[in-house]
């Protein structure tokens, strides 16, 4: 009778919506302390209160006995791909430029850290309603990045024009040509172009033409980019929790489902633009993504 009662209880738990069995989750972080790691793990605990979450910064953490493994950063992704464990895994805080060349195993999913291109383009349209053409710079060997942005442009009202920069000395010439033919410059996840050495050149050249830079990431905002979408540690944790809840298949890439907007009010004022309302922009973008 006791066995029968336990069996009936398990069947009832499986049939009642909203109830789920608690999972054992391992979060593998870099072995350095940072507020981002603390904020992410705290938010993940809040998003998954029914689960047991163990955090490790060991170079070789034990992986047995866990239902899911979450890694932070590209180095931890490398460790995970070298591990023999077949446990469903989600890698976070990995830029597209640092993706492994080999196909992902079926158990591994990656949530990219850089902003979603289509989301960035929609942000540009909300900030600059009259914009019609977006300008994009690519370095050599960025065919995958170019294809992704072309697909994103096809899903927005904006058209695009791009130039491939073959050497750093050609950057200013290519940028001037691009800005003359487009309405807004879109920063891409291309570290050969968008880096500390080129940033001043890109911003000064853009503003001399009264054009703004959208993106490519939150750290560029203080330097002089107008606005960008980004995912805070809380946004990333909620996005990971969502993937776990819907049991998203592995072997693929995705962007965080949750995000925020960060803008530079001083840049907006200097160019005669309305000061962006980041919270409102975030809500509008989320609504656009929910619209079929």
Q: What is the pLDDT of residues 25-55, one digit of tens each?
A: 999 999 988 999 999 999 999 999 999 999 9
- The whole-number pLDDT of residue 9 equals 46
Please report the pLDDT score of residue 20 as a whole number: 58
Q: What is the pLDDT of residues 152-183, one digit of tens each?
A: 999 999 999 999 998 767 899 999 999 999 99
Question: What pLDDT is recorded for position 249?
Answer: 73
Phi, psi of 107, rounded to the nearest 5 degrees: -90, -10
Contact 70/45 with Cβ under 8 angstroms? Answer: no
Query: Please, which pLDDT band fits residue 127 given cuts at 50, 70 and 90?
Result: very high
Instruction: Write out pLDDT tens, residues 7-28.
Output: 454 444 444 444 557 899 999 9
Q: Which CATH superfamily is domain 21-113+233-254 in?
A: Response regulator (3.40.50.2300)
Paired strand residues for 110 = 91, 253
Q: pLDDT class for 248, splitting at 50, 70, 90?
A: confident
Does the predicted TM-score (pTM) go above 0.85?
yes
For residue 24, what are the CA distances in angstroms to 39, 50, 80, 248, 271? Answer: 20, 10, 17, 17, 51
Scan for tokens 């490790």, then name that residue.
56
CATH number of 117-230+260-290: 3.40.50.2300
Q: Are 132 and 153 in contact (CB under 8 A)?
A: no
| 177-225 pLDDT, tens digit each | 999 999 999 999 999 999 999 999 999 999 999 999 999 999 999 999 9
Per-residue H/E/C for the chain? CHHHHHHHHHHHHHHCCCCCCCCEEEEECCCCCCHHHHHHHHHHHHHCCCCEEEEECCCCCCCCCCCEEEEECHHHHHHHHHCCCCCCEEEEEECHHHCCCCCCCCCEEEEECCCCHHHHHHHHHHHCCCCCEEEEEEECCCHHHHHHHHHHHHCCCCEEEEEEECCHHHHHHHHHHHHHHCCEEECCCCCCCCCHHHHHHHHHHHHHCCCCEECCCCHHHHHCCCEEEECCHHHHHHHHHHHHHHCCCCCEEECCCCCEEEECHHHHHHCCCCCCCHHHHHHHHHHHHHCC
Question: Which residue did the predictor score with more confidence, 2 or 281?
Answer: 281
Length of the chain: 292
Fold: same for 21-113+233-254 and 117-230+260-290: yes
The CA dihedral of 191, 196, 201, 207, to the nearest 10 degrees, is 90
Q: What is the C-alpha separation between 117 and 120, in angstroms, rounded?
A: 5
pLDDT at 3 over 70: no
Domain ranges of the chain: 21-113+233-254, 117-230+260-290
CA 91/CA 86 separation, integer angstroms: 14
Give residues with Cβ within 8 angstroms of 89, minimum separation 6. 68, 69, 70, 71, 80, 107, 108, 109, 250
**Whole-number pLDDT of residue 233:** 97
Per-residue b/e over 35-64, b at no fewer than 16 CB within 10 Å?
Answer: ebbeebbebbbebbeebebebeeeeebebe
Per-residue pLDDT, 1: 52
């Amino acid at each position: 009778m006791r066995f029968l009662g336990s069996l009936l209880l398990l069947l009832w738990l499986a049939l009642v919506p909203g109830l789920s069995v608690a999972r054992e989750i391992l979060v593998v972080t870099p072995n350095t302390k940072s507020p981002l790691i603390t904020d992410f793990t705290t938010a993940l605990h809040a998003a998954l209160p029914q689960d047991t979450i163990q955090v490790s910064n060991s170079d070789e953490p034990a992986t047995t006995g866990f239902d899911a493994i979450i890694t932070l950063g590209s180095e931890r992704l490398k460790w995970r791909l070298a591990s023999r464990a077949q446990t469903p895994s989600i890698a976070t805080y990995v830029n597209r430029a640092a993706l492994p060349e080999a196909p992902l195993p079926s158990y591994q999913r990656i949530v990219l850290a850089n902003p979603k291109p289509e989301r960035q383009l929609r942000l540009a349209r909300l900030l600059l309603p009259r914009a019609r053409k977006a300008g994009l710079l690519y370095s050599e060997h960025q065919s995958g990045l170019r294809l992704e942005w072309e697909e994103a442009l096809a899903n927005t009202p904006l058209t695009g024009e791009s130039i491939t920069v073959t050497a750093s000395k050609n950057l200013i010439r290519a940028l001037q040509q691009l800005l003359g033919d487009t309405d807004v410059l879109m920063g891409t996840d291309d570290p050969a172009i968008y880096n500390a050495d080129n940033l001043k050149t890109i911003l000064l050249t853009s503003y001399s033409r009264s054009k703004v830079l959208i993106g490519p990431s939150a750290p560029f905002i203080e330097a002089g980019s107008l606005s960008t979408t980004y995912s805070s540690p809380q946004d990333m944790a909620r996005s990971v929790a969502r993937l776990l809840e819907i049991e998203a298949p592995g072997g693929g890439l995705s962007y965080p489902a949750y995000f925020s907007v960060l803008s530079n009010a001083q840049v907006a004022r200097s160019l005669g633009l309305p000061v962006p309302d980041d919270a409102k922009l975030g809500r509008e973008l989320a609504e656009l993504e929910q619209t079929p």
